[in-house]
Chain A
């Protein structure tokens, strides 16, 4: 069976759930070959990576282009049958540049990947997730950027063969300099794209101090915190939490929209959620058109009572 390159992200040996999802998908297509930096975490073998290529380089983690070079060098050695990356800005950039370098074809935002007679068959959601698209790469190596939660990661333990290679960045790789990098402190909450539950707040929150309500509700449900662009633009919550067309797209089991009207750009980032709940004082708000359950009311009444009710039921 041919090799499927899987670009794996890990922080000091902790492999991200999206990477385990990629390995799980790769097993459908062929032999998973994990490519990562620093060390070879055990989880890679547990999720079926038959080979692990560890790239040794000081700062490869931060910038996409080093990865492009590393993957291109590996591909020159043994051409893969497909390459899988995460559909993050980082993963897309790698996919895009690699496609040009290898003469491959690239598909982004895959929500499913299945083997097919003419190579991997990729399912995508397009136009604010209003359409389902089935696509494939007709020419060159298929390079596929996959969205989180495309598959439930399942273990399939193997003993991987680990190889290490030192990356000597070429001149092109060094031309973009990382002048500074301040890593954001972890909130202790699940990551927005990986969370099973997302609670988002919008302009209806009326001020940054009220986001505590959203955080408390997220914590009570074990979820992540999201925000509309209006709330982010007002400076009430960090942009990294923005859900929508120019923020992140989420697809959790439960999406709870609080004080959010449901503009098309917001819907683009959440309407594939399994269950949608809205709390909004305007019964005509478009968010109710897609909500499985809605409460028409003042969030400042409803959310505190909901928190009490959750606490009461748990007690």
Chain B
């Protein structure tokens, strides 16, 4: 079986985000990393390998040159190979263009199972998995909290707003996983060393047959006109509880008409 895990290189959530002149997220000039939520998807792929060692796992990303770091990190966790779609024309791509390019790469990689995180930790729109499923005409099983693959069928459990659901589909299929699905493993020293020797290919748009005018800032379907930092919330009053804390809080809630 072939699994492809789609991963993203994102600004480190601990650092202050920066934006390009075109109001897109600056991923090149700030410290970045493999999106934490993607580690859960990588972990699930590796668990399939643990159970069925003939499974082949490829990590796939679309991103600037630095995004190779995210692939190295995923490879250090495990898996066999990585593909980095990188092209100057991609700068400023929105979710639609990113999904278009990932879909083109997935068509070439022909996986049985596509694994994604529930969302990225930067944009956080959760759009790309569903867009990929639509492009590739794959059944989508999203927001999984449990996943199992057996005899050509994938099953997931998910906690939707109103119900707990079990979904199933025949492979090929696309699954997105949440951070409830099981803690990702930490790369071992051996894993980090081994990752350096694993295949990491770089593909361009021309390799994928995607016309450059369908991606990048010029083709973006969505445009950001303005980004402004919200004024930080000012810390208000804090009282030390000396037995009267609850009374003071009740006073505050009453003046605000909550009681």
Same complex for A and B? Answer yes
User: A interface vs B, CB < 8 Å?
Assistant: 62, 64-65, 68, 88-90, 92-93, 95-97, 99-101, 104-109, 121, 125-140, 172, 175-184, 197, 220-221, 229, 238-240, 245-246, 253-254, 264-265, 271, 275-277, 279, 283, 288-298, 301-303, 305-306, 308-310, 313-314
Contact A297 to B241, CB < 8 A, known contacts A89-B142, A126-B227, A289-B235: yes
A61 to B222, CA, bound (A): 29
A35 to B161, CA, bound (A): 20
A129 to B121, CA, bound (A): 12
Residues of B close to A172: CB separation below 8 A: 137, 139
Number of B residues, CB within 8 Å of A: 84
Q: Tell me whether B141 is interfacial, beta carbon within 8 Å.
A: yes
> A310–B131 contact, CB under 8 A?
no
Kindly specify which of B54-62, B64-72, B164-172 makes contact with the partner chain.
B164-172
Q: Tell me whether B185 is interfacial, beta carbon within 8 Å.
A: no
Residue contacts A-B, CB under 8 angstroms, 20 given: A62-B163, A89-B143, A100-B131, A105-B220, A106-B95, A127-B17, A131-B230, A177-B167, A179-B166, A197-B258, A245-B124, A246-B178, A292-B237, A293-B237, A293-B252, A294-B238, A296-B240, A309-B246, A309-B247, A310-B259
Residues of A close to B161: CB separation below 8 A: 88-90, 240
- Tell me how far the C-beta of B171 lies from the nearest C-beta in chain A, rounded to whole angstroms: 11
> A283–B246 contact, CB under 8 A?
no
Q: Name the CB-closest residue of A to B226.
A: A134
- Tell me how far the C-beta of A28 lies from the nearest C-beta in chain B, rounded to whole angstroms: 18
Residues of B close to A64: CB separation below 8 A: 130
- Tell me how far the C-beta of A97 lies from the nearest C-beta in chain B, rounded to whole angstroms: 4
- B233's partner among A96, A229, A271 (CB-CB below 8 A) is A271
Residues of B close to A275: CB separation below 8 A: 256, 258
A95 to B165, CA, bound (A): 21
Residues of B close to A313: CB separation below 8 A: 250, 254, 259
Q: Which residue of A93, A275, A277 has the most chain B CB atoms within 10 A of its CB atom?
A: A93
Instruction: Given A99-B96, A108-B127, output 13 extra A-B contacts at Cβ < 8 Å.
Output: A89-B161, A121-B225, A125-B230, A127-B122, A130-B17, A131-B227, A134-B224, A136-B222, A175-B169, A279-B245, A295-B239, A305-B245, A313-B259
A157 to B69, CA, bound (A): 56
- Tell me how far the C-beta of B195 lies from the nearest C-beta in chain A, rounded to whole angstroms: 27
